[in-house]
Structure 1
Amino acid sequence: MANIVQFENVGLRYGTGTETLSDVSFTLKSGSFYFLTGPSGAGKTSLLKLLYLAQRPSRGVIRLFGEDAGALPRQRLPGFRRRIGVVFQDFRLVPHLSAYDNIALPLRVAGVQESDIEAPVREMLAWVGLTERGRARPPTLSGGEQQRIAIARAVIARPELLVADEPTGNVDPEMAERLLYLFESLNRLGTTVVVATHDFHLLHRIPNAQMMRIEHGKLSDPTGVLRNPPGQS
């Protein structure tokens, strides 16, 4: 499989403080599924921000889709980002848009005809169990419902790379497994998936998933096929 992501000695520093990430090097294979684990404050969210181009590294090289992301001209960034689906920990739904319109947003930005939007949006609403909530606006939805809408929005355009920051943190265990199955289904269609999670119970739900663990801003384990997560035998 080709490499979809390459980090080479990447460091990230906010302001003049110490580095949040130090000498991070890894490769993600196209079409693979990865879990990113580690304690709170270890640098998981910062690493994900680099993956979806919300942050530039302080040093090192990041290659996405075979290109040096740091050398991309500004006008190419929007098109590049459309190839990446993101599930944010704080959802980032547009509050004045309905759930339906939030999910449809990536398709509209990509120029999909309105006649081709309704069916996939309805399918996503059904998949996340919110068929009857399509007209509801985010402020009227529970945290779990907002999370499901955010996930549906992230996957509807079948991105080449999906990055999810604690995507099951606001849903019950049954829905968490259902959403994980959605990620797995997308992965089977060729999308590379990276899921940051604290929930070790989810780690064995995906056959051949690989794990990266980050501690104190460094990757502490090499990427490999996930066998036994910490605390399990």
Structure 2
Amino acid sequence: MVQFDNVGLRYGTDREVLSDITVTLEPGRFYFLTGASGAGKTSLLRLLYLAQRPSRGIIRMFGQDLITTPREKLPEYRRRIGVVFQDFRLVSHLSAFENVALPLRLSGLPERDIARPVADILDWVGLSHRSTASPASLSGGEQQRVAIARAVIGRPEILVADEPTGNVDPEMALKLLRLFEALNRLGTTVVVATHDAHLRENLPNPQILHLERGRLTRRNATSSEGSRR
């Protein structure tokens, strides 16, 4: 599904924030991305959802070398990736319902086929009663749930989530994890960046990708925080 070969990333002339990243993400697996603040998690996610090109190395995704792919072709690959941003990025003038429906409309789905799946996913994240609310009238936790619903509504081939449960209570965090898990069982490769150890403990046998100072180590879910594989 995804292959990084000796990938490095730097911003401007600063030192590399990611160095020598070599990893393969297998189709249909569930990955947690961990690491201290500043370790490079968000930068790695930006590479995964094609918002950033690396400074060096090779990235292959969906069987394509995306380093040599023309920029105008990248949107077609981005449409196969669902993203939950840390800052939500909801469209301010659209209701919760319309924000969640947006990916379906952009994909060209007929209007008659949009209302039911959007209503179902809003119900799943506990926001059916807030479907007509604007983002400005939603709490931070509610905005996060709308952002997650929007990311998963189209059943993406890859789901990338940056601290997706950071603004919800533990009960809702577990419910959202179950949503990601259900999507994963349908075949979506899931990558969740999180500091929440309790969240990781509630998923059987996830793959753990751990970043330390911009370098990636891969560990079993049962490994201690300091161990490496």
Structure 1 length-normalised TM? 0.95
- 2:142 aligned residue: 145
What residue identity is the alignment partner of 2:185? R
Counterpart Cα distance in 1 of 2:38 and 2:136: 28
Counterpart Cα distance in 1 of 2:16 and 2:225: 26
1:216 aligns with 2:213: yes
Counterpart Cα distance in 2 of 1:26 and 1:74: 23
Counterpart Cα distance in 2 of 1:134 and 1:77: 31
After TM superposition, list the pairs within 5 Å mapping 1:129-168 onto structure 2. 129-168=126-165
Picking from 47, 54, 58, the partner of 1:57 is 54
Percent identity between matched residues is 67
After TM superposition, list the pairs within 5 Å mapping 1:27-66 onto structure 2. 27-66=24-63
Counterpart Cα distance in 1 of 2:71 and 2:211: 30
- For residues 119-171 of structure 1, what are the alpha-carbon distances to aligned partners after superposition, in whole Å with 9 as ceiling and x for unaligned? 00000110000001000010000000000000000000000000000000000
Q: CA RMSD in A?
A: 1.0
The worse-fitting range, judged by mean Cα deviation, of 203-212 and 154-163 is 203-212
After TM superposition, list the pairs within 5 Å mapping 1:12-27 onto structure 2. 12-27=9-24
Alignment length (residue pairs): 226
Contact 1:7/1:62 (<8 A) preserved: yes
Task: Please identify runs of 4+ aligned residues in structure 1 that moved more than 3 A.
Answer: none
- 2:98 aligned residue: 101
Deviation at 1:36, TM superposition (A): 0.2
Deviation at 1:31, TM superposition (A): 0.2
Q: Which runs of 5+ in 1 are unaligned?
A: none
Q: Which runs of 5+ in 2 are unaligned?
A: none
- 1:70 aligned residue: 67
Deviation at 1:229, TM superposition (A): 4.6
Structure 2 length-normalised TM? 0.97
Q: Secondary structure at the match of 1:71?
A: coil
